[in-house]
Amino acid sequence: MKKKIIKLVETDITTLSVDVIVNAANSSLLGGGGVDGAIHRAAGPELLTECRTLNGCPTSEAKITKGYKLPARFVIHTVGPIWRGGNHEETHLLAECYRNTFKIAQTQHLETIAFPAISTGAYGFPVKVAAKIAVRETMIAAMQIPFLKQVIFVCFTPETREAYEEALQ
Ligand code: ADP
């Protein structure tokens, strides 16, 4: 199958020269901590200027901007769900983040994409569950998008890497 388009890397997502990196944003799209803060710092202030024109983003939806000073050409900002025990549609909403991100990637003809582990930091989503969703939605996207070449999962912590390795088995 197309599983080999998936790659795990332990690095700062802002260093990757891909078509698009994904930001685990908050619904204001005006920057925050974690990966969001790192992306805004590395892209420079023009990213915030463009984000201000987008009027925020509801949970599970996604919006694209340019990458500015990043090596990546574009950033897709998606807003993951906050984990509230698991009975508030969290798994569905996280899957929608991946689906909506891939939809934009397909429309814009983006071939290489890097994801952080959306929602698993400040938003508290269990990383093992999140990794399974990320892998499943990527396998589906890989079947639907013929030109998709590479999907990189950025594992910022050893625990994250273990969760993705398990999900890939
Ligand atoms: P959320 O609010 O969606 O939980 P966080 O940014 O708090 O977003 O965390 C999401 C994931 O991104 C976590 O696994 C965190 O370790 C990781 N992360 C934080 N900084 C970076 C970075 N510079 N590059 C890649 N991943 C990062």
Q: Are 16 and 72 contacting, i.e. CB atoms less than 8 angstroms apart?
A: yes
For residue range 19-71, list pLDDT tens digits in order. Answer: 999 999 999 999 999 999 999 999 999 999 999 999 999 999 999 999 999 99
36 is catalytic: yes
Q: Which domains does the chain have, with CATH numbers?
A: 3-168 (3.40.220.10)
The set of residues, in sequence order, having a beta carbon less than 8 Å from that of 134 and lying 6+ positions away, is 98, 115, 117, 118, 153, 164, 167
Q: Distance (Å, rounded) from C-alpha 20 to C-alpha 119?
A: 19
**Angle, to 10 degrees, between the axis of helix 127-144 and the axis of helix 158-168?**
50
pLDDT of residue 91: 98
pLDDT at residue 1 is higher than 80: no
pLDDT of residue 98 exceeding 90, the answer is yes
As a whole number, mean pLDDT of residues 146-165 equals: 97
Predicted local confidence at residue 4, as pLDDT? 85
In this structure, the residue with its CA closest to atom 1 of ligand 1 is 119
Marked catalytic residue, from 20, 22, 29, 36? 36
pLDDT digits over 101-149, tens only?
999 999 999 999 999 999 999 999 999 999 999 999 999 999 999 999 9
pLDDT of the residue at 84:
98
Ligand 1 pocket list (CB less than 6 A): 12-14, 24, 34-36, 38, 80, 116-123, 154, 156-157, 160
Kindly tell me if the per-residue pLDDT of 97 is higher than 90: yes
Query: For residues 134, 31, 61 and 27, what is the CA-based torsion angle, rounded to 10 degrees?
Result: 120
What's residue 159's pLDDT?
97
pTM exceeding 0.85: yes
CA–centroid distance, residue 48 to ligand 1 (Å): 18
Distance 77 CA to ligand 1 centre (A): 13
pLDDT at residue 2 greater than cutoff 90: no
Across the range 85-95, mean pLDDT stands at 98
Q: Whose CA is nearest to atom 15 of ligand 1?
A: 121
Pocket test for ligand 1, best of 156, 159, 162, 164 (most atoms within 8 A of CB): 156
DSSP-assigned beta bridge partners for residue 23 = 77
pLDDT over 70 at 100, yes or no: yes
User: What type of residue sits at position 127?
Assistant: V
